[in-house]
Amino acid sequence: MNIKCPSRDFIYQDWILTETKFNPEQLHSRSTVFTIGNGYLGTRGSLEEGHARGLPATFIHGVYDDVPVVYTELANCPDWLPMIIAINGDRFRMDQGEVLQYERRLDVSQGLLSRSLRWRSPSGSIIDIHFERFASLADQHILGQRCQITAHDGDCLVEIQASINGYVENQGFNHWEGIDQGKTESGIWLQSRTRGTQIEIGMAAKIAISGVESALQVSIVPGYPTISASFLAKSQQTITVEKLVTVFTSREVNKPVTAAQEKLAQLPDYTTLLTANKQAWDEVWQKSDIYIEGDPTAAFAVRYNLFQLLIAAPSHDEKVSIPAKTLSGFGYRGHIFWDTEIFILPFFTFTQPALARNLLSYRHHTINGARRKATHYGFKGAMYAWESADTGDEVTPRWALPDNYYGEDVRIWCRDREIHNSADIAYAVWQYWQATGDDDWMGNYGAEIILDAAIFWSSRVEYNSQGDRYEIRGVIGTDEYHEFVHNNTFTNRMVQWHLEKALKVADWLRHTFPEGAKALEDKLQLTPELETHWQDIIKKICIFYDSSTGLIEQFEGFFQLKDINLADYEPRQRSMQAILGIETTNQHQVLKQPDVLMLLYLMRPSAEFPYNEKALKSNWDYYAPRTDITYGSSLGPAIHAILASDLGKSATAYERFMQALMVDLEDSRGNTNDGIHGASAGGIWQAVIFGFGGIQLTEQGPIANPHLPPNWTRLKFQLHWRGQWYPFDLPGGQEAGGRGQEEKSQGGFPSGRTSLRDATRTGAEEEVLTLQSPDIRGFIFDLDGVLTDTAEYHYLGWQRLADEEGIPFNRKANEALRGVSRRESLMRIIGDRPYSEAQIQEMMERKNRYYVELIEHITPKDLLPGAIALLDELRQAGIKLGIGSASKNAHTVIERLGLADKVDAIADGYSVQKPKPAPDLFLFAAHQLGLEPKQCVVVEDAAAGVEAALAGGMWAVGLGPVERVGAAHVVLPSLAGVTWTDLRTKLNEAAGV
């Protein structure tokens, strides 16, 4: 499929962006849009021949330097692009002569930028020129350029100059001092050093000309080494000039200029290097691609945004991270914000976990800077900088300079008051660990980040003795339109969440890496008294939540601010803060970006407090209309898109999604010239996967409950979860979903939806039934993991109990409890610890109380994909339906799921004495249905349940991996897309019929 979709002077195709008109007024914004890179460096889409308004820029990860007022910024590195062409003495420029034809293309499938044009020189010669460039993904130190010149209407004299430009600036400041330059047999080289940080860079370049004989000359102009050539181009003859460049810095090697020269001498030709680059990109896209059918604009634009993230992600360096504007512009001076961990990181965590690991490791390498900031402000632990660079120290400017000569300087309070990012970083560490199971990294890196930042919180909170509560005063929440507030709910709840997880991490570390735990405890001065203090903060921290309505007050006193109707200010093209002014905005209930809704989004994956359906609806209705979603922050639209999708507001979800998707391609905020909106790009991936794809992460793997936009006919992607790949191929036009099917191979997408598959059974298992053509008249469904996924609630209940009793417990241990009764589960947890019968009964009741609290908010939306469709089809076929669940809360769950009128019998934990793997529960259900065991099919996701069904003489359908439910007669990944016809066929095959 290769549908073209025009937008102004852009054409969007599956993988290619085409610009059909050159507009000098858009020079800088389009330079951002046409940025290329390879995870080591990024080069803006500047013109090879230069432009009077041009500001070429190449940024290399970690190459920071100091500058007055700004503190630290990424240094604009020497420009490798200059290629000057003269035709019969007329220098080719876009602002001279006449451009007769023009096209610029970015192919994101291989990171190749090209420009083709026909140009009439001032003296009348017409020439066709084709430029292209790439930054090799196969070798981060290699850059390639090609220029093809064709004389159109007669012979002409062509002169070429290919250079390295050492005189580059960061908007008026040159960070480089020249050390040396020269020529070799291969070409030219330049050696420079940053003025403050003393980072050296070495660049080397050579050219090759084909299609004509031409001698090369080298001129060593200070700071601008150049290779020149001149030749006669015959009419309709194409001459090709290929320029190869190598680059190293002293961050990677001791002698960067020597390394650049040596690599240049060994390089193969341009075509070979371009092929290697294409192969490297193919491997990346196999893991990270998203395929959308039915919406060509979104199909390309999603890939474009992912491309911009991929070219900014360091694959060989764990001491750097992705700046807010990636490596594509001067905005925010190359500083790293919470944008990376909360918005960008999930894309890498679930598709390129090695890159995610690098990005998080940066926070460990810079933890000493966070400690210095905490000490500066009089606190303990690690207080992560609001804006971070190479050392982790705070680099947020204290003042913002005015836009006009007579304006007042503006104090930037974020450096002092916006502190939630320490918890945001901990959140990202925890999410990475849960998704990857990377215990080694967690033990060596992640635990120290989480624990030392938790120590900071214990020194930052304030105890209010009158209210017997902990407060965090004088902060800025994610909203940022309110610059000095007390008890911002986002901040306070994230701190509470952080401390909850810190306690779990500390316990895990002691049991998993006892020696490392002891060393870290000594290093951080982590004591039992401190952990007790954390527990007290968790219980008593101030959070403004109305349980009767679900409404959350953004911060103390927010509801007393003046209300506002944003519609009264339309139409507008400025933010509300620009319209009202800083002080007046502070006095109104207007938000720059989601705050309470952002909190709900982060608590959404595990439905942790305060996330529930009622809270989401109440707070959406209150805060969404008060959010400056168009001209506030670019971080907001993608989050609104996901939450609107959850609420069934499909039109709003798609509108917000497109608003985020096109922010750079359409320059809708007028600031694309500053660089790519990296957080928005990361939010786009989350909007597609978690919003429209409806992905939920379970212990059994990711599952989909999609609600695609009406015009999307197909959505295809894959996710990496705990060492396995789960591909999804979701059709549009229906609420179809499914559990991802484990895929051992990493080679692209398997075709089609997840499908039925048979289990391999032993001879002994075959003898359980006298196999004839099955006379199926009833289905008995387990509840947890089959029709709904309350297994997470059981786990959370057991985890809370175990924590209170001081018993080691984790998700791995919880796996052994699948399908096991409450009492047996508890006995496995406590092991040989001495408890009386009265204590055991009390603990069972306590766990059940926790579980009941958790399931209070279950709704029909919590049914797993395919469940309702199959139940309805079976009832229409005259099949009797029963529930066989070990849970003593089965009736409550069934009522809340809306299934009470769909089932004919319920067997639960109160029905029988012997739990699974005894067959009693299912035999009881069969008796209630009035059927013989051999007339019943049991659908189970636990090994104990499958064993119980087989022991009872019933047919068994297992959901999940063969390793767990392989004894069943038929094994399915999930119920998604399963029909009675398919099941009957498979059961017949299992019976040998």
> Active-site residues: which are they?
480
Of 718, 706, 713, nearest in space to 861 by CA: 706
Quote the tokens at residue 367.
């933890």
| Number of other CB atoms surrounding residue 832 within 10 Å | 5
Compute the distance between CA of residue 233 and CA of residue 160 in angstroms, rounded to an integer.
12
Quote the tokens at residue 645.
């999708």
Quote the tokens at residue 704.
């989909």
Compute the distance between CA of residue 277 and CA of residue 391 in angstroms, rounded to an integer.
32
Quote the tokens at residue 964.
């767990």
> Mapping DSSP to helix (H, G, I), strand (E, B) and coil, where does residue 435 land?
helix
Angle at which helix 489-512 crosses helix 514-524, to 10 degrees, equals 130
Strands 905-907 vs 880-884: parallel, antiparallel or unpaired:
parallel
Compute the distance between CA of residue 949 and CA of residue 210 in angstroms, rounded to an integer.
75
Q: Which helix (H) or strand (E) holds 801?
A: helix 791-805
Of 662, 669, 704, nearest in space to 683 by CA: 662
Sign of the alpha-carbon torsion through 740, 743, 746, 752 = negative
Quote the tokens at residue 310.
């991929």
Length of the chain: 993
Instruction: Tell me how far apart the terminal alpha carbons of the chain are, to the nearest angstrom.
Output: 43
Tell me the CA distances in angstroms from 595 to 97, 485, 497, 653, one per residue in order. 53, 13, 16, 18
Query: Dihedral, CA atoms, 4, 9, 15, 16, nearest 10 degrees?
Result: 110
- Enumerate the H helices of 182-328 as residue ranges: 256-266, 270-288, 296-310
Quote the tokens at residue 383.
């207080």
Residue 270 identity: Y
Compute the distance between CA of residue 484 and CA of residue 5 in angstroms, rounded to an integer.
46
Compute the distance between CA of residue 726 and CA of residue 749 in angstroms, rounded to an integer.
9
Strands 724-731 vs 936-940: parallel, antiparallel or unpaired:
unpaired
**Three-state helix/strand/coil letters over 717-768:** EEEEECCEEEEEEEECCCCCCEECCCECCCCCCCCCCCCCEECCCCHHHHCC
Phi, psi of 665 (to 5 degrees): -60, -35
Strands 462-464 vs 469-471: parallel, antiparallel or unpaired:
antiparallel
Q: Which residue has the tokens 């803060």?
A: 577
Query: Dihedral, CA atoms, 58, 60, 62, 64, nearest 10 degrees?
Result: -30
Burial of 296 (0-12, 13-18, 19+ CB in 10 A): buried
Strand partners, 702: 697
Strands 291-293 vs 714-721: parallel, antiparallel or unpaired:
antiparallel
Q: Which residue has the tokens 């591909």?
A: 727
Quote the tokens at residue 530.
């401190």
Sign of the alpha-carbon torsion through 960, 963, 964, 965 = positive
Strand partners, 83: 162
Cα 194 from chain centre: 33
Compute the distance between CA of residue 946 and CA of residue 959 in angstroms, rounded to an integer.
10
Compute the distance between CA of residue 15 and CA of residue 4 in angstroms, rounded to an integer.
10
Quote the tokens at residue 790.
């309350």
CB crowding 135-151: b at 16 or more within 10 Å, else e: bbbbbbbbbbbbbbbbb
